[in-house]
Amino acid sequence: LDDENHHLFGYETITYTNNSPDVLDYLWVQLDQNMRSKDSKTPLIEGGGVEPFMQPSGFAGAYLSEPFDGGFNIKKVLDKNGNPLTYTINQTMMRVEMPEKLKSGKDFEFDIEWDYNINDHVNGRGRSGYEQFPDGHRAYVIAQFYPRMAVYNDVEGWQNSQFWGRDEFALPFGTFEVNITVPADHWLDGTGKITNRKDMYSKTELARYEQAQKSFENPVVIRTQQEAEKLAMMPGSKEMKTWKLKADYVRDFGWTSSRRYVADAMAVKVGGKDIMAVSIYPPEGNPLWEQWSTKAVAQTLKSYSRMTFDYPYHKAISVHAKNQGMEYPMICWNYGRPDTEGNYSDRVKFGMISVIIHEVGHNYFPMIVNSDERQWTWMDEGLNTFVQFVAEQDMGENYPTSIEGLDAYPSRRGPAANIVPYMAGDQRYIAPIMSKGLNTYQFGSNAYGKPGTALNILRETVMGRELFDYAFRTYSERWMFKHPTPEDFFRTMEDASAMDLDWFWRGWFYTTQFNDMGIESVEKYFVSSDRNQAMKDMMKARNIDESRIPALVYMVKEGSVDYKEDLKGKEASELVGELKTYLMDNFTAAERAMMKSPKYFYDIKVVKPGGLVMPIIIEYTYVDGSTETVTHPAEIWRLNDKEIGLSKASTKEIIKIVLDPKLETADVDTSNNTWPAAAEISKFDQMKK
């Protein structure tokens, strides 16, 4: 790392093993930094024209600034004997030609030497880069910094889709041994174990770290704010030192380095192992970061391990970087900064805690359950957003001071009602979840919010927690360190639960349909032993001689020509003599004693203007104030996708019926969910008072 010129020089040796049954003609390597090269095509894929007004920084970036040249400068590509290899660079992808084809089970070793200019991620945006501080020093969060192997899989062969900046990454697993040389006064950490920690830490720092390994309740500060501020007041060391890290079975590598860093850590017990939860931040992050960052990391490890599998790595690091939210194995960058006086709002606090949970959670999806982010963004962002919601609620329960004054942790994504504005929006600007992330409108709602909410609904409303949690953990464990597709997720959830969820995947993931159900009508019936006009009309319409029909139980609609006031409030068994005889002749006294004796019968018509299929959750309120909730599975719509008739028998009169009373199904229009209509209910409540 050339700190003075914010430039990075690198040299790597890649040993690639062909674990596929195929013979490979060539290898593909990803050059993600080329998105920032001077001749990058990335800015040219966005349309829009002249904006009527712009932020000064946006105007300067669009019209006044020279493009930043941050692409890879590939100096050499050599085989293990030092011979040059032929290679072709196509934007962010490099094809390396091997001297001979690579057979199954064989490996090929080659070297790449490169360098590039590190970007200012605060002013120019970016997933990695540096932040410049007023004192002249910088903090670096470095990723996609080396030419990275692409994935060759059994579904599509090489995953060599170009990186345009939005869709993230598909990567193979490997063992990483990385040496990073930085100024001697920098504090560094990254993916993997620091193998020369004793040489890098002072004796005091090492003692503090050993203390942190035994602290399970509160973080231990390893490098204090005073120590970091003291270094920041100095010019900066010209001497260099090399940190050594090693990581097994990871798909990527990221690191951070600065002389301005504070660091703290604590231990977390996961599956019988002690995992280190670590936070690294400049003084600008305090007091917020020292209070909440490491605790949020610890809660994430506990909640995610409960929902998926025990965290397999030895640490998880949260790094504070302005305006950032990005993830890599064992390390991530997160935003959330107090003002210059150290004050912060609840919005800043919860925003910081949530982004830490989300980015640390990415260790599970897709760093371990290694889906193809470039093609299926929702498989990492959506699944992760769902488990993030679970972890946030756990955070609120386990650290109640974090939500002081609130009923629960204020999760932005997860509750069904929160996705309604998006799903009810203009269909011209909504894409199915199963779209490539680059090609979607409203990226956050499409790739994060909607799939995360869908899984929360699947867990809470459709499957129930026990079935869902078992199936979700099965998927997570089954596809650890593998490359699942959407179908693998869908099939596993059904396989482990014995539930047919095709209707759910189709509606939520393959369409942009929304849920809208309503109560069209409610009619009250009573029983009678007298033949009524409705029965006569039906018999006539069907050309049946009614005199040949045996005794029946007749249903009389309130307000019809056959309705009589004395029918109201009488039990069926006392009113219909032949029914009583039937009950006496066919059931024992004990069985009759346990039978219901309904007096009121309701015919309820539920309509579905929306295209999405969902369960019908219906709440009945009785005249005595008691309530009952019944959930009809989504299969109730299988023969009629427009309207359904429900019958409800009760010993007590029903005074109110509500669909989806707890807003569990993302119904976009609840104005038709209540009977009687809102005005009538208000009138009834007034009468009751």
pLDDT band at 397 (very low <50, low <70, confident <90, very high): very high
Distance, in Å, from the CA atom of 16 to the CA atom of 34, rounded to the nearest integer, reads 23
Whether 550 has a pLDDT exceeding 70, the answer reads: no
Torsion of the alpha carbons at 176, 181, 186 and 192, rounded to the nearest 10:
10
- The closest alpha carbon to 319, from 267, 257, 392, 228, belongs to 257
Determine the average pLDDT of the residues in 549-568: 77
Q: pLDDT tens across 3-23, in order?
A: 999 999 999 999 999 999 999
Ramachandran class of 405: left when φ > 0, alpha when ψ lies in -120 to 50, beta otherwise: left
**DSSP one-letter string for 79-110:** ETTS-B--EEEETTEEEEEEEEEE-TT-EEEE
pLDDT in tens, 67-97: 888 999 999 999 999 999 999 999 999 999 9
Distance CA 583, CA 215 (A): 70
The 10s digit of each residue's pLDDT in 349-385 is: 999 999 999 999 999 999 999 999 999 999 999 999 9
pLDDT tens track for 416-432: 999 999 999 999 999 99
| pLDDT at residue 166 is higher than 90 | no
Query: Residue 660: CB partners within 8 Å, gap ≥ 6?
Result: 517, 617, 667, 670, 673
- The pLDDT assigned to 171 comes to 96
Lowest mean pLDDT among 161-165, 185-189, 298-302: 161-165
Nearest to 624 by CA among 651, 642, 601: 651
Q: What percent of the chain has pLDDT over 90?
A: 79
Residue 667, classed as helix, strand or coil, is: strand
Q: What letter represents residue 296's amino acid?
A: A
Q: What's the rounded mean pLDDT across residues 289-301?
A: 98
The radius of gyration of the chain from alpha carbons, rounded to an integer in Å, stands at 32
Q: How large is the average pLDDT for residues 169-193?
A: 97
- Residue 572's pLDDT band (boundaries 50, 70, 90)? low
Tell me the C-alpha distance between 29 and 276, whole Å: 33
List CB contacts of 124: < 8 A, sequence separation 6 or more: 61, 68
In which band, very low, low, confident or very high, does the pLDDT at 595 lie, cut at 50, 70 and 90? low
Which letter does DSSP use for residue 6 in this model? T
Q: Which of 56-70, 357-371, 396-410 tops mean pLDDT?
A: 357-371
Task: Assess contact for 141 and 333: CB atoms under 8 A.
Answer: yes
Return the pLDDT at 32.
95
Q: Is the pLDDT of residue 684 over 60?
A: no
Of the pLDDT bands very low, low, confident and very high (cuts 50, 70, 90), residue 576 is low
pLDDT tens digit sequence for 611-659: 999 999 999 999 999 999 999 999 999 999 999 999 999 989 999 999 9
Q: How far apart are CA 337 and CA 290, in angstroms?
A: 12
Write down the pLDDT at residue 49.
82
8 Å CB contact between 10 and 73 = no
Mean per-residue pLDDT of the chain: 92
3-state helix, strand, coil in the chain (%, to 5): 35, 30, 40
Contact between 306 and 266 under an 8 Å Cβ cutoff? The reply is: no
What's the rounded Cα separation, in Å, for the pair 320 and 187? 14
Among candidate residues 78, 81, 77, 99, the one with its CA nearest the CA of residue 89: 77
Average pLDDT over residues 534-561: 76
581, pLDDT greater than 90: no
Instruction: Inform me whether the pLDDT recorded for 454 exceeds 50.
Output: yes
CA dihedral 241, 242, 243, 249 (to 10 degrees): 170
In this predicted model, which residue has the larger pLDDT, 50 or 500? 500
pLDDT tens digits, 103-156:
999 999 999 999 999 999 998 788 999 999 999 999 999 999 999 999 999 999
